[in-house]
Amino acid sequence: MGKVGKGVAEHYRWGRGCDAWRLVRTDGLSVIHELMPRGASEERHLHRSSSQFFFVLSGVVVLETDGQREALRKHEGAEVPPGVPHQFFNESEDAAEFLVVSQPPSHEDR
């Protein structure tokens, strides 16, 4: 237990130039801080048992859930329940930072 942040958290890269920092990783909860450059996106997918909550810290992202697209701006978020196909896009001119909270963790649930 203790203080956690991007400077000390486990870092990894994914997709085309996206960065992620694992802030919390337990058997029951995952909290990841992600940085998505402009023009980046993730692959469309779903989670069988994980519920996810996305919360935008800066920038604008588009969350597509089951065919519906919605822009999420700074200090806005959305939940994606298990079994719902979804995809994240950064179609803006700036990088976006957001938190991904998964319960239970979604690492092996794609």
- 26 alpha carbon, distance to own chain's centre: 17
Q: Is 2 contained in some domain?
A: no
Residue showing tokens 């956690």: 4
Q: Is 94 contained in some domain?
A: yes
Q: Is 18 contained in some domain?
A: yes
Q: Is 108 contained in some domain?
A: no
Q: Is 61 contained in some domain?
A: yes
Q: Is 24 contained in some domain?
A: yes
Q: Is 69 contained in some domain?
A: yes
The pLDDT value recorded for residue 108 is: 67
Tokens encoding 83: 């079994």
Residue 109 has pLDDT above 70, yes or no: no
The pLDDT value recorded for residue 31 is: 97
The count of structural domains within the chain is 1
How much is the pTM? 0.92
Q: Is 4 contained in some domain?
A: no
User: How do residues 71-96 score in pLDDT, each as one tens digit?
Assistant: 999 999 999 999 999 999 999 999 99
Residue 96 and residue 60 in contact, taking contact as beta carbons nearer than 8 Å: yes
- Residue range(s) defining the domain that contains residue 88: 10-103
If one counts every other C-beta atom within 10 angstroms of the C-beta of residue 96, the result is 26
Distance CA 104, CA 109 (A): 9
